[in-house]
Structure formats: C-alpha cells, structure tokens
Structure 1
C-alpha cells in the first residue's frame, strides 16, 4: 500500500493530482497562445501598419496644397497654342498698257553741264537734260517747261526758271520707250526771269549759281557754276 494513501482520503488525493496536471497544461497552452499573438501584433507591426497609407489616401497629406499649386502654375505658364493667321492677299497689279502715263518710279531724271564752270564775258551757261523710262512698255510724260522745270538760284534768290512767262498751255507730251532717253538742251541768256514777264529783264550779276531740274517729286543733281 502506498504510504501516502491514507484510508478514507485516497479519492481526494487522486483528483487533486489530476487537477494540478490539467491546470499546468492550461497554463502552457495560454503561454503559447500569448506568444503567438504577441509575435504577430507587437509594437513593430503596429508601427508598420500606422506608417503604411491606406489605399486611396495620400501618403503625405501636407504636400497636397503644394502639388495643387504646382499644377496651377504649370497650367498658367503653359504656352498657348498659336492662333492661325490668314495670310494677306497681295493685290495683283494690272500690267501697264502702252501709252499710259509713266510712273515716277520708272523715270530717271538727270542734268549735265554747269558743274563748277566759269562763264566770263558774254559766254552763256548750257545744260543738257535727259529723261529715261525704265518701265516695261512705252509710256508718256509731259516734258513741257512747267512740268519739267529748269531752275537757277543763287542762295535763297530764285534767279531764273523755264516756268516763267510760258506762252500757251506749256505742255509737251512725249512718248518714252524703255531705255531710250529724251534729251533737252538749254542755254541761259544770263538774265533774270519773273512771273510778271517784263519785256527787258535785268541781267544776272557776277557770282555763284546753282542749276537743277525739277519734275514732280523728282530732282536732278545740282550743277554749280560761276558768272564773271
């Protein structure tokens, strides 16, 4: 007989031993369960879960205003698409017909003579005027004494002009072929002229004079000469 087993209390001892073993097993099971739950949901996992953004939310909410501002700035500074422009139609110029008035841009006016020359005694200054058309077809030009004026001045003093004392209409229309010059030769009698057409105009005094041909807006080069 077991010495620890006393008559009358053998059943109590047996069940107390069985309860101790059961409690020990339950404690071991609880410890294992606690260890497993701690390894899966410890502080590190909680921190990782907190640092990971949930789907559909911004990782850095404070950066949203900055991103929005950058988008607005990019939209505001974007180069606008070029607006298509309609090219202006170049007016088509009608070709000139033969016999129409010459355009000033197609005429070349020049004068020869009277350049730094001295006329003494009774010698008279002489001038040679030429007018040339560079147009594509024959054109007409008025070369009368009023339209093509030869003027002589001395300083601000107007001495003589072909436009003074012109008899009749004073027009003389000429046909100008391309490159063929119209030539006029002129001799000045060394006397003044005026619009009142006096019968005996006074002679010009000795001095320095300038001759020039004027035709519309065109001007020839100046010819300087001297009377003695």
Structure 2
C-alpha cells in the first residue's frame, strides 16, 4: 500500500493520495463545523425562549401571601365613655375623707422581745396624698393581729379589751400619726374565753388594720 506499483512514476500516486486525503479532511472539517453551528443556534434559541418566559412564583410565595395584600383592620373609634374611663382619676379634694389610697399604714415592732414580756407596738398612719384629709382613728377601727409561722392566729388587740371611741383626725400631707399599743405577752382569741398563755419562742408576724386599710406584715422574734 505504501509502495505503489504501476506504469506511472511513484510521485504521481503520492500526489493522488495526498489530494484524496485533503478532500477527506475538508469534508470532515465541514461536517464538524456545520454540526457545531447547528448546536450553537439551538442553544441560543433555547436561551432566548427561557428569557422571554416569566419566572415561576416561589413556593413560599404561593403559601404565604404578600404583606401588601393583607388588609389591617382600622382601630375602633374611641367612644366618649371609653375616653372618660381612660382619663386619670380626679385629684383628691382638700379637706375631704382620706381614702385607703391616700394613706400609708404600718405596724412597728421592737423586732425582738422576751417570752412573757410586754412589748409595745405602734400603729402608724400617714397621709401620702398632696392635700389634707380627714380619717376616723376610732379605737374600734384599729386592730393588730399576730400569727405564728404556720399562719395560725395567736393574738388580736381587740379580743379581750375592745374599746369604742370617736376620733376623727385631719391629717396634713406627709403627716404621720402613731398610736402605741402595749401587748400583754399572752395569746387570745376573739371571744377571749380560751386560756391565755405565753407563746412559744419563735418568729411571729403582726398585721395592722384601720377599718378597711391593711398594713404590710411586720415580724417579731420571741426569745
């Protein structure tokens, strides 16, 4: 094959083979270029089609509506009655009755006392408003009650020696009135018929009352 035999010179056969090879290469190259052109044109058409097609809506947007589409209800109108209810409470009248909100009530103790002794407690009533006011400090409206650690009532100031007096006080703004009360050091109950004994050592709670006003708790340790 590589050594042509014939009547013509060998270079003639080599030229023919070279021409055939060039033609063959040209045909193959043209076919390849044509295929590449067709594929490139198809890709361009697909890209143009995708660009003109609208983007699909995200899955989340199909589930959760846009906030701009959500209508917010208008607040209800404020009626005159509602406006009056929202208005601040009127200021207290000077010289009027002292309401519970205008008073501070406190029971004061010596903190510690010996079992069986007779400590003195104080009922402190103060006007915390900005105007003077009147409050009855009648003895029958005052009371101090003692409880043990379990919450059991141990003693009350009105159990055995109730008093009835009339004592209306005008309290100036910031004024504090203290009423002393001596405890006998013994237990009691409202009918004052049970045996009265000295409470056992321990910590006790005292709570004061002036009619409907109740004080915070104070402690007394009996030793």
TM-score bracket, shorter-length normalisation: 0.5 to 0.7
* Of 106, 109, 127, the match for 1:110: 106
Asked if structure 1 preserves the Cα contact closer than 8 Å seen for 2:156 and 2:190, the reply is: no
| 2:128 corresponds to | 134
Q: Secondary structure at the match of 1:205?
A: coil
Gaps of 5+ in 2: 1-51, 58-64
The structural deviation recorded for 1:124 is: 1.3
User: Which digits, 9 at most, give the CA deviation of each residue in 1:72-112, with x for residues without a partner?
Assistant: xx999535476365345243644322332222222222232
The structural deviation recorded for 1:157 is: 2.9
Q: Matches of 2:91 and 2:221 in 1, distance apart? A: 43
Q: Matches of 1:83 and 1:137 in 2, distance apart? A: 43
Asked if structure 1 preserves the Cα contact closer than 8 Å seen for 2:140 and 2:162, the reply is: no
* Of 131, 143, 156, the match for 1:161: 156
Q: Secondary structure at the match of 1:193?
A: coil
The structural deviation recorded for 1:150 is: 0.6
* Of 207, 211, 218, the match for 1:212: 207
Larger radius of gyration, structure 1 or 2? Answer: 1
| 2:217 corresponds to | 221
Asked if structure 1 preserves the Cα contact closer than 8 Å seen for 2:207 and 2:214, the reply is: no
C-alpha root-mean-square deviation of aligned residues, in Å?
3.6
Asked if structure 1 preserves the Cα contact closer than 8 Å seen for 2:109 and 2:218, the reply is: no
TM-score normalized by the length of structure 2: 0.54
| 1:45 corresponds to | none
TM-score normalized by the length of structure 1: 0.53
Structure-2 change in CA distance of 1:81 and 1:154 (3 Å): closer
Asked if structure 1 preserves the Cα contact closer than 8 Å seen for 2:105 and 2:213, the reply is: no
Q: Matches of 1:76 and 1:97 in 2, distance apart? A: 52
Q: Does 1:101 align with 2:97?
A: yes
